[in-house]
Amino acid sequence: MRDRLSRLNQTLRGTLTMSALHIPPLQGAMTMKSDSQLKKDVETELEWDPAINASQVGVLVRDGVVTLTGHLDSYAAKHAAERAAQRVVGVRGLAVELDVRLGVSARRTDGELAAAAESALNWHALVPKGRIKVMVEGGMVTLSGEVDWDYQRTHAVKAVRELTGVIGVSNNVSVKPQTTPSDVRQRIQSALERQADREAKNIEIVVTGSTVTLKGQIHSWAERAAAQGAAWSAPGITSVVNQLRVGI
């Protein structure tokens, strides 16, 4: 009997030891990409997006920071290239050294572009009519004015960004100050937990008056953007300082 118990104990110890040696990796764990792999992934994502002529974009990577270089034929394509790079997992920072060089057929006078921008804003359901002014100089569109919510000025930029002849957009539209609820920090925290539960615990929210500052480290640019959007959606917020770092 004593021999049988001894053999059983040895078997159990062996089983536990082998299990300890073969612990599977945690689900969702990430590994750091090499710069060469990250470069390849960004180039592949640029080629995958049909709105981008990937042959016009150069990609440089150093320590996880991606630099895009080259010349594109529209501002919409430039924005698409930025978004494509941000979608790639492992990108810790992004430098955009792309410029827009319009072809002859895409060139418009500043007057034509201003009229087109005014029309686009007036026809957009999410942009309040008469609240945003347009100025165009050399193909660069500047928006100014005051709106009630950040999403309204965001959609204003979207409305003019893809117009033919635009080489850049400067958004000087401000958000009208409102009374900030006393529980605004908790509201933002709840929104983060709904939209990015995995990252919510890593994000520090600091509310000073009508300004929200986000601090911490998250895993992707998409999560960074989601956190910023959640903060902007809170009532009474006129400024969001996004200090979130993207890392693995």
The band of 30, judged by pLDDT with boundaries at 50, 70 and 90, is low
As a whole-number percent, the residues of the chain with pLDDT over 70 amount to 86
Tokens of residue 73, six digits: 């034929």
pTM (2 d.p.)? 0.76
- Using a 10 angstrom Cβ sphere, with 0-12 exposed, 13-18 middle and 19 or more buried, the burial of residue 153 is buried
Q: Are 170 and 154 spatial neighbours (Cβ–Cβ below 8 Å)?
A: no
- The CA distances from residue 115 to 50, 122, 166, in Å, are 29, 11, 12
pLDDT in tens, 16-26: 333 333 333 43
| pLDDT of the residue at 56 | 95
Statement: residue 156 has pLDDT above 70: yes
Statement: residue 62 has pLDDT above 90: yes
